[in-house]
Amino acid sequence: MITLNTLFHQLKENPVNWALLAVLAYVVRSYVSSAKAITVSPKHPEVMLFKTYNPKELRAFDGNADNGRILMAVNGSVYDVTRGRNFYGPGGPYGNFAGRDASRGLAKNSFDMDMLTDDDKPIDKLEDLNKDEWDSLREWEQHFANKYLLVGTLVENP
Ligand code: HEM
């Protein structure tokens, strides 16, 4: 067992041990200060509850609000795509899908505005899609399920 006495003795005997002790002190100090930086969070992240969204409610989440949140519906599921802000944020290449039901556009691989249903109209039933389009939509759905948080389901306006 190394006692404090032998530790001091060894430090006295071999000056290299002082250098090692200094390195150890530096490592411990930087570990402690980085741990502090991680645990002290200035603000609790916004809590997201799984809920239903109708097309009108969804529109509020197009990334332009103060909280910057972006939601997007895909085949009846609503995903929080905020971390894909570069794609869906204002001015992004797929910004047209932000706060909208993107199903038809994803099925047909098109971001034309006529792929979107007005938010005061019934939800697009996608009844006319062919097999390839359904396959495309399901593939996209898988992509979103793997990448983003599912936060709700799309329901009709009241
Ligand atoms: C001009 C042809 C296009 C090019 C060059 C292009 C390019 C890209 C690139 C580079 C990515 C990023 C892939 C990654 O990092 O995972 C991407 C993702 C994506 N693209 Fe396109 N794209 C094109 C057309 C389209 C069209 C027509 C749609 C319409 C549905 C579309 C929808 C998407 C979506 C939804 C994503 C996924 C974004 C995410 O992961 O959140 N793209 N595209």
Please write down the HEC assignment for all residues of the chain.
CCCHHHHHHHHHHCCHHHHHHHHHHHHHHHHHHHHHHHHCCCCCCCCCCCEEECHHHHHCCECCCCCCCEEEEECCEEEECHHHHHHHCCCCCCHHHCCCECHHHHHCCCCCHHHCCCCCCCCCCCCCCCHHHHHHHHHHHHHHHHHCEEEEEECCCC
Cβ(147) – ligand 1 distance below 6 Å:
yes
Atom nearest to 106 CA in ligand 1: 30
Instruction: Please give the pLDDT value at position 93.
Output: 96
Instruction: Please give the pLDDT value at position 127.
Output: 98
Instruction: Please give the pLDDT value at position 124.
Output: 98
Q: How far is the CA of 141 from the centre of ligand 1 (A)?
A: 14
Instruction: Please give the pLDDT value at position 106.
Output: 98
The backbone region for 37, taken as left when phi is positive above 0, alpha when psi lies in -120 to 50, beta otherwise, is alpha
Distance, CA of 138 to CA of 155 (rounded, Å)? 19
Query: Residues in the chain with pLDDT < 70?
Result: 1-5, 7-8, 11, 21, 31-41, 45
Residue with tokens 């997007």: 72
Distance, CA of 100 to CA of 62 (rounded, Å)? 8
| Tokens matching residue 102 | 């993107």
Instruction: Please give the pLDDT value at position 37.
Output: 59
Q: How far is the CA of 94 from the centre of ligand 1 (A)?
A: 8
Instruction: Please give the pLDDT value at position 146.
Output: 98
Instruction: Please give the pLDDT value at position 55.
Output: 98
Instruction: Please give the pLDDT value at position 35.
Output: 60
Cβ(105) – ligand 1 distance below 6 Å:
yes
